[in-house]
Structure 1
Amino acid sequence: MSGPFKRPPTGRELRRQAAREAKHQPRRNVLTLAQAIAPVALLENARPFEPGEKTADHIKTRMAFDALKSGAGTHEEFLYLSTTMGVLFWRAVDIDDGLATVMKRGALAMQSCWRRRQDTGRFGFSGPELVDLVGALDAAEAIADASSPLQLANAARTAHRHGEIFRS
């Protein structure tokens, strides 16, 4: 049936026409969800911790210290405390030389603790090491509270890159 009237295009014809036209138009950049929220995630990591946000970590660190001090500490508690001291030492290096010195003495006390474990089979500290480590723990809490998650992650990468912090 031909004549002056043309039938309207079907849905399939409309889709094909739209696809042909789309081939000739420049492609738009479409962001994925991860790309869209990346700036927000970066800002979230760059913000300082809220007061009390790190309290659970501080308690865990103090409990590990108390267990090691009493001689009943486990290898996991030693690793937790020494890792904390190592990461926060590298964060202290970015902040202040005096603070880094305090953290270094704490890390050296942890090395002494490890040697004592290898010699006697139990963890423990001498009197001067206890004083150094208590000061370092107080400094570590202050450093962690004043730092952002991004700063602590950078310090952890630095500690990992340097491996053993102090060679005796």
Structure 2
Amino acid sequence: MNFWLSPTTLHVEPAHGADAETIARLHAEGFYRGWTREEFAAYVAGDGTPVYVACDSRRRIAGFAMLRHLGDEVELITIAVDRKWRNKGVGLMLMRALFDAVRMSPARRMLLEVAADNMAALKLYAKLGFAKIGERKGYYPRPDGSPATAIVMARDLG
């Protein structure tokens, strides 16, 4: 099992099945249409969708990220950070742990989609070397019914 340590008193490790409830709650806080506990439990149990959590020594989860392996590419499916842990480097810590986790895989490029109006995420991804490769207009639903554009980004994994 891999562990990634951080000076924030948090570490990153693979998610457990028991984490699905907390992961679903964090996802629902960060996204208009959150996924269910059952969906996350299936992802955690699956082979092709590794899920990682940033947590403290008592396993209180501050954030999570989920990948999907696609041959020589890997896709960041979703990432969310608990509100009380935002702007404290948890997203950056999770992303760096993901890069390390896929280092020995066949993946040579990481892809992701992010809402065009999510400035904090866009700034983080740019800092990590992601570049825009496309757009998906009307991709994300919003509570008011208006669709939001998704920016498709990619980064070589070296």
TM-score (norm 2): 0.29
Structure showing greater relative contact order (alpha-carbon pairs closer than 8 Å, 6 or more residues apart): 1
**Greater strand percent: which structure?**
2
Highest CA radius of gyration, 1 or 2?
A: 1
TM-score (norm 1): 0.27
